A and B are shown apart, each in its own frame.
Chain A
Amino acid sequence: MDHFPTNWGRPNYNTFDAHATYPLHVHPQPSSSADGVQHTQQPIVTGTSVLALKYKDGIMLAADNLASYGSLARFKGVQRLQAVGDYTIIGASGDMADFQYLQYILDNLIISEEINPQDGHKLGPSEVHEYLSQLLYARRSRMNPLWNSVLVGGFRDGQRFLAYVDLLGTTYKASTLATGYGAYIAQPLLRKAVEGKEDTLTEDEARKIMEDCLRVLFYRDARSINQYQIATISAAGASISGSLKLETSWGFAEGIRGYGGQTQ
């Protein structure tokens, strides 16, 4: 709260008050940034790809648990999927500090829009996606972007929702989406496996597709790790799995020649 009583009541003219019997307190004003302002120019601690697809019952998202510091695998137990309200799950790649800030903003949004009024009006996935896109676009317009690519998955009133938004405020929708390196490596695999089968794929089949894509990404993406989480959002609500381990086989590596210290 404002602890200066002179700022409470009538709007006062701080420097001169004809009726003053006592010198008025002058509230300290925030100083202008004379030394200039530093904006984000690159992400620092980053998460890699997020994958998402439509299946029979809803939306499935997947992301691994790594937050890299450059090429260093710095934090190996980071959750990059987050439920927002009752109908939405978001997954973020890019700057993890900015993602934590986004989570804070969205948490406040849910409290002020759902918890405090308690009028029964809830935010659905399309509202959350719209809010994020406006926020991210406003930040890029201030030349101070939040350095993320975010997938928003949701299920409400029998409708599936899956959309993308990134640091520029770019948005699009599709039945399969992938951010980062996954947009190159996993997206073609996802399209092949999912497109045309959105209404028939079971959760188990979808999970298998996700695991296969994550495995390929782990083989190919040097910023990935073999621990991941899968989230589903359906009529049953949102659920985010615990940390799972990818099964991989490296037997083929023995036959590779041309790298490392082999002699022939």
Chain B
Amino acid sequence: MTSIGTGYDLSASTYSPDGRIFQVEYANKAVENSGTAIGLRVKDGIVLAVEKLVHSKLLVPGANRRISTVDRHVGLTTAGLLADGRHITGQARKEAQVFRQWHRTPATLKIIADRLGAYIQMYTLYSSVRPFGVSTIVGGVDKTGPGLYVVEPSGVYYGYHGAAIGKGRQLAKNELEKLNLTELSTREAVFEAARIIYLVHDDAKEKEFELEMSWIGDETNGLHVPVPKDLHDEAEQRAKDALENFE
């Protein structure tokens, strides 16, 4: 890496001569090493799915969830440093609560993404702090309909129809682009999400992983909840079958 030894990467408050902030780019590297997380924004809702890498057989299956609920109608998942992700989750919950306190109405997704972006960007300004090593997918259904945003370590955020972060993001993005996301139902999207996570998982490098999925849509009454077990299992089985046919 050209940045090493130049001295321009020692602080997030220092630019390199060509206008880059290396500490923020290193934060992106932390994201790239994480298990894949994807989000689909479809006709009537959103689906989040993550490839939760299991580093020990002693961990309780299903525990240590990587998708969390921010507000009734908002779900969030991060890729990168787990502890940073937890902090971002806490901050997102706080922002949702503060918005409710001020306006006595639930925050729209755009507002939560905007405030998270502002918060994360603050940590790119000072030498005393380290930028967050996470990218965040926030998805939800509010009064404006379904929404899906990704907030990067630099603090920028974009809205997406389909989003992928972490290790397998490139392959996952290719798969997402093939889908007709605006026409899909959330139920159909759950099957696609499971298939993509199984597809991008690299068996050679990491053996064990758990598929974790959540959704919001007409079927969940606008609430962000984990995908019900029967649907989850069916999607997982179909994903495994699709993978065998694929190879």
Q: Which residues of A contact B (CB under 8 A)?
A: 1, 3, 5, 8-9, 104, 107-108, 111, 115-116, 118
On chain B, the residues within 8 Å of A5 by CB distance are 122, 125-126, 128-129
On chain A, the residues within 8 Å of B126 by CB distance are 5
Partner of B72, one of A1, A3, A8, A111: A111
Min distance, Cβ A51 to any Cβ of chain B, angstroms: 28
Partner of B100, one of A1, A8, A108: A108
- In the bound complex, do residue B226 and residue A115 qualify as a contact, i.e. CB atoms below 8 Å apart? no
Partner of A8, one of B65, B68, B94, B129: B129
New contact pairs (16) apart from A5-B122, A118-B65, CB-CB < 8 Å: A1-B91, A1-B94, A1-B122, A5-B129, A8-B129, A9-B128, A104-B104, A107-B100, A111-B72, A111-B97, A115-B72, A116-B68, A116-B69, A116-B70, A116-B93, A118-B68
Question: Which residue of B has the minimal Cβ distance to A6?
Answer: B128
Min distance, Cβ B20 to any Cβ of chain A, angstroms: 22
Question: Which residue of A has the minimal Cβ distance to B90?
Answer: A116
Instruction: Sort A-B residue pairs by CB-CB distance and give the 7 closest, nearest first.
Output: A5-B126, A115-B72, A115-B69, A118-B69, A1-B119, A9-B128, A116-B69
Show 23 residue pairs from A and B whose CB-CB distance is below 8 angstroms, ordered by the A residue: A1-B91, A1-B119, A1-B122, A5-B125, A5-B129, A8-B128, A8-B129, A9-B128, A9-B129, A104-B104, A107-B100, A108-B97, A108-B100, A111-B71, A111-B72, A115-B72, A116-B68, A116-B69, A116-B70, A116-B93, A118-B65, A118-B68, A118-B225
* Cβ contacts B91-131/A at 8 Å (1 or 0 each): 10110010011001000000000000001001001101100
On chain B, the residues within 8 Å of A118 by CB distance are 65, 68-69, 225-226
Question: Which residue of A has the minimal Cβ distance to B224?
Answer: A115
On chain B, the residues within 8 Å of A9 by CB distance are 128-129
Interface residue SS majority, chain B: mixed
Number of interface residues of B (CB under 8 A): 21
On chain B, the residues within 8 Å of A1 by CB distance are 91, 94, 119, 122
On chain B, the residues within 8 Å of A104 by CB distance are 100-101, 104
Q: With the chains together, A107 CA to B128 CA distance in Å? A: 38
Min distance, Cβ B244 to any Cβ of chain A, angstroms: 33
**Total CB contacts across the A-B interface at under 8 A:** 35
* Cβ contacts B58-97/A at 8 Å (1 or 0 each): 0000000100111110000000000000000001011001
Q: With the chains together, A104 CA to B69 CA distance in Å? A: 19
On chain A, the residues within 8 Å of B122 by CB distance are 1, 3, 5
- In the bound complex, do residue B119 and residue A115 qualify as a contact, i.e. CB atoms below 8 Å apart? no
| Residue picked from A3, A8, A118, most chain B C-beta under 10 Å | A118
On chain A, the residues within 8 Å of B128 by CB distance are 5, 8-9
Min distance, Cβ B33 to any Cβ of chain A, angstroms: 26
Question: Which residue of B has the minimal Cβ distance to A107?
Answer: B100
Min distance, Cβ A98 to any Cβ of chain B, angstroms: 15
Min distance, Cβ A100 to any Cβ of chain B, angstroms: 8
Min distance, Cβ B67 to any Cβ of chain A, angstroms: 9
Q: With the chains together, A116 CA to B65 CA distance in Å? A: 12
On chain B, the residues within 8 Å of A115 by CB distance are 69, 71-72
On chain A, the residues within 8 Å of B69 by CB distance are 115-116, 118
On chain A, the residues within 8 Å of B71 by CB distance are 111, 115
On chain A, the residues within 8 Å of B225 by CB distance are 118
Q: With the chains together, A138 CA to B68 CA distance in Å? A: 33
Question: Which residue of A has the minimal Cβ distance to B125?
Answer: A5
On chain B, the residues within 8 Å of A107 by CB distance are 100
Question: Which residue of A has the minimal Cβ distance to B65?
Answer: A118
Question: Which residue of B has the minimal Cβ distance to A103?
Answer: B104
Question: Which residue of B has the minimal Cβ distance to A8?
Answer: B129
Q: With the chains together, A115 CA to B225 CA distance in Å? A: 9
Interface residues of B in 166-206 (CB under 8 A from A): none
On chain A, the residues within 8 Å of B91 by CB distance are 1
Min distance, Cβ A237 to any Cβ of chain B, angstroms: 12
Question: Which residue of B has the minimal Cβ distance to A2?
Answer: B122
On chain B, the residues within 8 Å of A111 by CB distance are 71-72, 97
On chain A, the residues within 8 Å of B125 by CB distance are 5
Q: With the chains together, A183 CA to B101 CA distance in Å? A: 34
Q: With the chains together, A108 CA to B100 CA distance in Å? A: 9
Q: With the chains together, A118 CA to B104 CA distance in Å? A: 23
On chain A, the residues within 8 Å of B65 by CB distance are 118
Q: With the chains together, A108 CA to B97 CA distance in Å? A: 8
Min distance, Cβ A3 to any Cβ of chain B, angstroms: 7
Q: With the chains together, A3 CA to B126 CA distance in Å? A: 12
